[in-house]
Structure 1
Amino acid sequence: MRAVIIIIFMAIYLILALPVLIIGFIAGLFSKDTQYKIGKFIVTHICRGIMFLTGSRVTITGLENIPDETVLFVGNHRSIFDVVLLIKVINRPFGFIGKKELTKIPYLNLLLKLMGGLFLDRTNFREGLKIILSGIEMLKSGLSMLIFPEGTRNKESEEPLPFKQGSLKLAEKANVPIVPFGIKGTDNIYENNNGLVVKSSRVKLNFGKPILLSELPQEDMKKSAVYVRSEILQLLSK
């Protein structure tokens, strides 16, 4: 029942938001910053409504660890609701790198592009490199970014999959801090259920202290993906 209500809510909201969506793309011709703010405004309200309709109890800690400067948010990936929750919680425009499959969902793909979404085709190395370079340029321009370095959702265990080293090049090349986060319980909202069923869940989201890769010891710098993953494991254990 919750799933049906969420679908109806999204459909009505997206129809009502269409004029603002059009304004956002027009604004983007003159100011990308304005475009991202409009996109974040629209998508944040959708995500707030969706999380409310799931009936989930969300505990958030560590928000004070997010600095005012441009950052790269890095965390584990449990569910499609991870992004919904993060958009709701993070009080600033931010772009992200997601799967190319998201571009196949009508209207949603426009919303995600409006707020700075980049879409990665994992089968095309050259195109993937272009996406990474675009992400670096976004960070340098002042837009924070979000990535899930596992590359996909871990469906087998609570522990994150190994992080892909290349994904952290975004922070390294743009010289911005990484804000790690650990998220638990979102998969119980949808992925762990049978069929199109949405259930309430107890969700925990914990942000850690910023990590500046250039300040790490040389040994940790070489294996920064392992280091950042270990920090996120500690956040998940709290």
Structure 2
Amino acid sequence: MKIIYIIYQICIGLPVFLAATIITALTTMLGCWLGNGHFWGYYPGKLWSQLTCYLFLLPVKVKGHELLDQKTSYVFVANHQGAFDIFLIYGFLGRNFKWMMKKSLREIPFVGKACESAGFIFVDKTSPRKIYKTIKEAENVLQGGTSLVVFPEGARTYTGQMNAFKKGAFFIADQLQMPVVPLTINGSFKVLPRTGKILSWHPLSLTIHTPIYPLGKKGEENLQMLMTESYKEIEKDLQR
């Protein structure tokens, strides 16, 4: 069965995925250019992500949608197991959001320009002024139920276990006094780890945890609380 799955993904899955990626990127860019970036910056990518999981025959299970208020903006933070984390969150979180991502991802053909058109936030850490600009961009985005999604580890894990969190997402949540929602991803490391080249079939799951609200004041105490509690929530549901 493994050989059949490899043949399927090479002969059918990959060509369809590449075509869908280009079509999605062009649709996003055109739609955002014409107007209503709130719609076109989210829904084409959502459908593309769902199609990708279905195309590669990966079962998806999500729990915790009922914990979220549709009118509240959140900072979502998730563990980063592999490339399919993106498709799992984008396709199945069920919330209109913007990604916060590395500046270097802007250079990916088609995808980078589509992300820019969609209003995703590219992080530039080269100076305090540019970090402040990132916070202001996030403040403009996080309104009316639109949320932000961040991988606080900063990069995909090599081992499947969680690495230490960086402060960026929690600093934004602290400065804007916004609730943080931890997300636990399981299965993505089995499908395509950071060092992998070929997909392996494995179910994917996304667990949405209870929002963690700020202490009511800005500062290091609130930031550390958000970061520590988020890490604990994500880790406790990780499959070993």
Under TM normalisation by the shorter chain, which class is it?
Answer: 0.7 to 0.9
* Matched position secondary structure for 2:62: strand
**2:205 equivalent in structure 1:** 204
State the AA in 1 paired with 2:52.
I
- The alpha-carbon deviation at position 237 of structure 1 amounts to 5.8
- Check if 1:106 corresponds to 2:104: no
- The alpha-carbon deviation at position 16 of structure 1 amounts to 4.4
* Matched position secondary structure for 1:236: coil
- Summarize the alignment of residues 169-208 of structure 1 with structure 2, pairs less than 5 Å apart: 169-191=171-193, 194=196, 196-208=197-209
Farther-moved stretch of structure 1 (146-155 vs 167-176): 167-176
- Deviation string, structure 1 residues 175-233 (Cα, Å, up to 9, x no partner): 22211111111021112675x311211222111111111259x9962522122211221
- Check if 1:54 corresponds to 2:53: no
Change (3 A) 1:182 1:111: same
**1:10 equivalent in structure 2:** 17
State the TM-score, normalizing by the size of structure 1: 0.83
* Distance (Å, rounded) in 2 between the aligned partners of 1:153 and 1:40: 23
**2:148 equivalent in structure 1:** 145
**1:31 equivalent in structure 2:** none
**1:71 equivalent in structure 2:** 74
- The alpha-carbon deviation at position 234 of structure 1 amounts to 2.2
- The alpha-carbon deviation at position 57 of structure 1 amounts to 2.0
Whether the aligned pair in 1 keeps the contact of 2:186 and 2:239 (CA below 8 Å) is no
- The alpha-carbon deviation at position 121 of structure 1 amounts to 3.9
* Distance (Å, rounded) in 2 between the aligned partners of 1:110 and 1:89: 23
**1:228 equivalent in structure 2:** 230
* Matched position secondary structure for 1:98: strand
- The alpha-carbon deviation at position 18 of structure 1 amounts to 6.6
State the TM-score, normalizing by the size of structure 2: 0.83
* Matched position secondary structure for 2:60: strand
Whether the aligned pair in 2 keeps the contact of 1:77 and 1:152 (CA below 8 Å) is yes
**2:4 equivalent in structure 1:** none
**2:215 equivalent in structure 1:** 214
- Deviation string, structure 1 residues 39-72 (Cα, Å, up to 9, x no partner): 2111111111111122222221111112211111
Change (3 A) 1:149 1:161: same
Identity of matched residues, %: 23
Whether the aligned pair in 1 keeps the contact of 2:121 and 2:134 (CA below 8 Å) is yes
- The alpha-carbon deviation at position 81 of structure 1 amounts to 1.0
**1:164 equivalent in structure 2:** 166
**1:135 equivalent in structure 2:** 138
- Deviation string, structure 1 residues 123-146 (Cα, Å, up to 9, x no partner): 555434422332233114652100
Whether the aligned pair in 2 keeps the contact of 1:138 and 1:144 (CA below 8 Å) is yes
Unaligned runs of 5+ residues in structure 2 are 1-6
* Matched position secondary structure for 1:79: coil
Aligned match for 1:92, one of 95, 102, 122:
95
Change (3 A) 1:178 1:106: same
Aligned length: 230
* Distance (Å, rounded) in 2 between the aligned partners of 1:153 and 1:121: 19
Whether the aligned pair in 2 keeps the contact of 1:36 and 1:114 (CA below 8 Å) is no
- Deviation string, structure 1 residues 149-169 (Cα, Å, up to 9, x no partner): 1111121342x2111233212
